[in-house]
Amino acid sequence: MLRFDQVTTSLPFIRAGKLRALGVTTRKRSAALPDVPTIEEAGLAGFHDSTFNGLMAPAGTPHEVIERLRAEVAKAAAVTELRNRFIAQGIELISSNSTEEFAGFLRKQVEDFAILARQAGIRAN
Whether residue 8 contacts residue 90, with contact meaning beta carbons closer than 8 Å, is answered with yes
**What topology is assigned to 1-51 in CATH?**
D-Maltodextrin-Binding Protein; domain 2 (3.40.190)
pLDDT, tens digit, 9 for 90 and up, residues 93-110:
887 678 888 889 899 989
Domain-by-domain residue ranges, the chain?
1-51, 54-125
pTM surpassing 0.75?
A: no
Q: Quote the pLDDT of residue 55.
A: 87
CA 1 to chain centre: 24
